[in-house]
Amino acid sequence: MNIGFDGKRAYHNHTGLGHYSRTLIHSLAAYYPDHEYFLFNPKSSSLFHFEEENVHEVLPQGFPAIFFHPAWRSSWVKKDLRRLNIDLYHGLSHEIPMGIQKTKIKSVVTIHDLIHERYPEQYTTIDVKIYRKKFQYACNKADKVIAISEQTKKDITDFYSAPSEKIVVTYQSCNPAFANQLTETQKKIVQLKYGLPPNFFLYVGSIIERKNLMNICKAVFILRNEIEVPLVVVGDGGKYKQQVKDFVKQNNLDKKIIFLSERPVARSSKSFQNGEDFPAIYQSAVAMIYPSFFEGFGIPILESLWSRLPVITSAISSLPEVGGDAVYYVNPQQAEEIAEGMRRICGEEEVANDLKERGLRQAQKFTAELCAGRVMNVYQGLMS
């Protein structure tokens, strides 16, 4: 098959949608080399690249496509799909080209979450309307919908009344680099590069209200005179981030909470921006703190499981689907519960070791080969 993909996130996004896209494409190319994979990228990028011989980047050509990237990606790309004899097109992040159902090209769309429906107050009114229109169109017109969790499948049926039989739950994997155990020397190089302390708790994710960094900081405050281990924050944000920073300053937690993404070395490092240094950062930490209020999947949890890093997270939405019995669950509303989890993992070696062992077993349910196989089954089912 000639399989086409919306390549925007794969080439340009360094958060969850980008990780999903790159991991899936690399995995498909490796485990199913008989197919050709075409990534339709609206504009060139030097941040990420694909070296596989059966992966091909396709950029807009000619006027007006090269000047109107969004229009090419959302509609005009159909001309290139036909030119390259694409058999099936996969929209990797909530969208498919307008009118693709009128071609003979089969289409699949991955829906990661419907956060804009659950928490519309965290978006502008116009953004909610745009997302709703794009998501609904994709769910209605695609031949098959991939949901990355049972929670997301439920939301698609609840909010958009999509037929359940059209939706396939296909869990995602993560970069296999997280499974490679690094040497102390390799970890030390990264620790020195970013000025990381010898021991630290870790938070990775956008700094937005739903991700709940504020209550993590409140847990750090509770433990301020008890545990010397600081919190390292990887991620960025806007208004909510400033609220968190105000709390940090008002409570004299500046030395307890490190906003790593703000450091010049992180901003200028390509290996930080593309995530290459993240496995070493994860494997140097004491625990991942991820008590989100809602997630479509929660990729930092899976990255932590592979890294043999204990995880503190919430027992809500999709998070138990990923964490299974291998993580420490807390009520995300209760900073005291988060603090107790941090206290136990930091102070009770048997608790930390048990979570590491369980975590590695749980991670085996989300290997790159398994996840690629499930997606390929969707493709082959449509083409049979």
CA pair distance 258, 170, nearest whole angstrom: 35
| Spatial separation of the C-alpha atoms in residues 324 and 149, rounded to whole Å | 13
pLDDT tens digits in sequence order for the chain, 384 residues long: 999 999 999 999 888 899 999 999 999 999 999 999 999 999 998 888 899 999 999 999 888 878 898 999 999 999 999 999 999 999 999 999 999 999 999 999 999 999 999 999 988 999 999 999 999 999 999 999 999 999 999 999 999 999 999 999 999 999 999 999 999 999 999 999 999 999 999 999 999 999 999 999 999 999 999 999 999 999 999 999 999 999 999 999 999 999 999 999 999 999 999 899 999 999 999 999 999 999 999 999 999 999 999 999 999 999 999 999 999 999 999 999 999 999 999 999 999 999 999 999 999 999 999 999 999 999 999 998
pLDDT value of position 59: 95
Q: What's this model's pTM, rounded to 2 decimal places?
A: 0.93
Query: What length does the chain have?
Result: 384
Nearest CA to 345 out of 200, 145, 129 is that of 200
| CATH number corresponding to 2-173+368-383 | 3.40.50.2000
Q: According to DSSP H, which parts of the chain are helical? A: 8-12, 16-31, 69-71, 77-83, 115-118, 125-141, 150-160, 184-194, 213-222, 239-250, 264-268, 270-273, 278-284, 299-306, 319-323, 335-347, 349-363, 368-383
Burial 101-126 (b: 16+ CB within 10 A, else e): eeeebbbbbbbbbbbbbbeeeeeeee
- Domain range annotation of the chain: 2-173+368-383, 176-365
Q: What is the pLDDT of residue 15?
A: 81
pLDDT of amino acid 62:
83
3-state SS, residue 48? coil
Measured between alpha carbons, how far is 91 from 166 in angstroms, rounded to an integer? 15
Asked if 2-173+368-383 and 176-365 have one fold, the answer is yes
Class assignment of domain 176-365?
alpha beta
Provide the pLDDT for residue 296: 94
Retrieve residue 164's tokens. Answer: 């359940």
The CA distance from 254 to 256, in Å, is: 5
